[in-house]
């Protein structure tokens, strides 16, 4: 199982770091893509090394996409490379997870139309404007899309995501993939 | 399953936050005890609310103890209340986990004599002076004690701890406890 994380400077530190550790605990490979290859720094000062530039991302190489929040999504959401990557995951119905401001990227990529989703309360209107059915609950799964509101939701968010990934892994195995 | 975390100002943020979220993901209750009831602040600025003072801790109420690192262990390790709590968990062979500078507390409480353990490399001599058999590996479990070196070890550390807690939970269940 190979997970792609897309972020940029100003990420919410715990929303990037805790899920990345959690994926690694499961034995999943975690790749981090940023606009320009190198280090990025979070709101609280954690420095994370990205191993990919957005240019290098080949969506077919990954099983799932994760978008942390913080200030990063505001700079990422209008980038055509980011939107194309999100749309490629959605087209294949691969798991897509986003927290806090992360769902803004899903909204900008046009994949929330008619979908149930949550996000940080301050940007709820933005995802509703993109057609999402917003609800103020810790975590929502709608098909392949899992969203959460804020760092404190991470326990419930990760439970849902890991469950979805294991389900997918088990189905892929059953199909001989 | 009820987990006690002991910390203080200056904790390493990810070493407190990520494991706390991970325990909650498993449905465990997490209690945070600090020298004086209230909020504590990490090295990176995360503010965490403690629900207990060290005075209030009744070790028999908990199933496991976790000690994050950062600057907190240096101020905690010589506190008699902290040492008594650690010794109470050890006496009952309840799971005790510590990362980074956290094992300094185990050393000061006198429970590392003859035990295999790891920690942040700068304090390896301190735990060896307390009788520990130090090794520079991501995670070590010696009976009920699980130790790790640094934040990047969290995936392996949590896998070991969660495994130990589930084992304990299953054994307790078998014993009708």
Strands B139-142 and B133-134: unpaired
Shortest distance, CA B21 to any CA of chain A (angstroms): 5
Neighboring chain A residues of B17 at a CB cutoff of 8 Å:
14, 18, 151
What's the topology of domain A2-169? Rossmann fold (3.40.50)
Which whole number is the average pLDDT over A146-151?
A: 98
pLDDT at residue B43 is higher than 70? yes
How far is the C-alpha of B158 from the C-alpha of B25, rounded, in Å?
Answer: 12
Shortest distance, CA A13 to any CA of chain B (angstroms): 9
Shortest distance, CA A37 to any CA of chain B (angstroms): 21
Longest dimension (CA), chain A: 44
- Could you give the ipTM of this predicted complex? 0.95
Q: Which residue is closest to B28 within chain A, CA to CA?
A: A155
Q: Is A49 exposed, middle or buried (0-12, 13-18, 19+ CB in 10 A)?
A: exposed
The string of pLDDT tens digits covering residues A9-37 is: 999 999 999 999 999 999 999 999 999 98
Strands B145-148 and B64-67: unpaired
What are B171's two structure tokens? 């054994």
Tell me, yes or no, if B101 is annotated catalytic.
Answer: yes
Give residue B99's pLDDT.
Answer: 98
The string of pLDDT tens digits covering residues A51-91 is: 999 999 999 999 999 999 999 999 999 999 999 999 999 99
Neighboring chain A residues of B13 at a CB cutoff of 8 Å:
13-14, 44
Residue B37 near residue B52, CB atoms below 8 Å: yes
Of A21, A45, A159, the CB nearest to B18: A21
Which whole number is the average pLDDT over B124-144?
A: 98
What are A55's two structure tokens? 């240019």
- Catalytic entry in B22, B77, B101, B149: B101
How far is the C-alpha of B44 from the C-alpha of B15, rounded, in Å?
Answer: 11
Residue A171 burial (CB count, 10 A) = 10
Shortest distance, CA B158 to any CA of chain A (angstroms): 7
Q: Which residue is closest to A25 within chain B, CA to CA?
A: B155
The residue ranges of every structural domain in chain A are: 2-169
pLDDT at residue B175 is higher than 80? no
Q: Could A18 and B18 be called an inter-chain contact, meaning their C-beta atoms sit closer than 8 Å?
A: yes
Q: Which residues of B touch A (CB under 8 A)?
A: 13-14, 17-18, 21-22, 24-25, 44-46, 151, 154-156, 158-159
Give residue A172's pLDDT.
Answer: 77
The mean pLDDT of chain A is 96
Neighboring chain B residues of A24 at a CB cutoff of 8 Å:
155
- Catalytic entry in A22, A77, A101, A115: A101
Give residue A168's pLDDT.
Answer: 86
Cα–Cα–Cα angle for B103, B108, B111, nearest 5°?
A: 75
Beta bridge partners of B32: B5
Q: What is chain B's alpha carbon radius of gyration, rounded to the nearest angstrom?
A: 15
Q: Is A17 exposed, middle or buried (0-12, 13-18, 19+ CB in 10 A)?
A: buried
Share of chain B above pLDDT 70, in %: 97
Neighboring chain A residues of B21 at a CB cutoff of 8 Å:
14, 18, 154-155, 158
The mean pLDDT of chain B is 96
Q: Which of B169 and A2 is assigned the larger pLDDT? A: A2
Share of chain A above pLDDT 90, in %: 93
- Model confidence at A174, pLDDT cuts 50, 70, 90, reads low
Please report the DSSP string for chain B in residue order. Answer: -EEEEE--TTB-HHHHHHHHHHHHHTT-EEEEEESSSSEEE-TT--EEE-SEEGGG--GGG-SEEEE--BSHHHHHTT-HHHHHHHHHHHHTT--EEEETTTHHHHHHTT--TT-EE---GGGHHHHHHTT-EE--SSEEEETTEEEESSGGGHHHHHHHHHHHHHHHHHHHHHTT-
- How many contacts (CB atoms, under 8 Å) link A and B? 54
Residue B131 burial (CB count, 10 A) = 14
Q: Which letter does DSSP use for residue A11 in this model?
A: B
How far is the C-alpha of B147 from the C-alpha of B140, rounded, in Å?
Answer: 5
Q: Could A24 and B151 be called an inter-chain contact, meaning their C-beta atoms sit closer than 8 Å?
A: no
pLDDT at residue A176 is higher than 60? no
The string of pLDDT tens digits covering residues A91-126 is: 999 999 999 999 999 999 999 999 999 999 999 999
Neighboring chain A residues of B3 at a CB cutoff of 8 Å:
none
pLDDT at residue B177 is higher than 60? no
Q: Which letter does DSSP use for residue A60 in this model?
A: G
Phi-psi group of A96: left, alpha or beta (phi > 0 → left; psi -120 to 50 → alpha; rest → beta):
beta
What are B80's two structure tokens? 């008699």
The string of pLDDT tens digits covering residues B59-86 is: 999 999 999 999 999 999 999 999 999 9
Least Cα distance to A106 among B27, A121, B165, A123 occurs for A123
Give residue B56's pLDDT.
Answer: 95
pTM summary value: 0.96
Share of chain B above pLDDT 90, in %: 93
Give residue A92's pLDDT.
Answer: 97
């Amino acid at each position: 199982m190979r997970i792609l994380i897309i972020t940029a400077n100003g990420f919410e530190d715990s929303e990037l770091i805790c899920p990345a550790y959690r994926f690694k605990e499961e034995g999943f490979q975690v790749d981090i893509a940023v606009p320009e290859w190198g280090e990025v720094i979070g709101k609280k000062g954690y420095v994370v090394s990205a191993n990919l530039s957005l240019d290098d991302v080949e969506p077919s190489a990954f099983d799932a996409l994760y978008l942390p929040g913080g200030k990063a999504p505001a700079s990422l959401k209008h980038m055509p490379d980011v939107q194309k990557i999100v749309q490629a995951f959605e087209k294949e119905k691969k798991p897509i997870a986003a927290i806090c401001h992360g769902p803004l990227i899903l909204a900008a990529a046009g994949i929330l139309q008619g979908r149930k989703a949550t996000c940080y309360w301050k940007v709820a209107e933005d995802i509703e404007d993109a057609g999402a059915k917003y609800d103020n609950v810790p975590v929502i799964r709608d098909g392949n899309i899992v969203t959460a509101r804020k760092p404190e939701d991470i326990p419930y968010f990760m439970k849902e995501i890991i469950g979805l990934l294991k389900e997918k892994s088990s189905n892929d195995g059953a199909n001989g993939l």
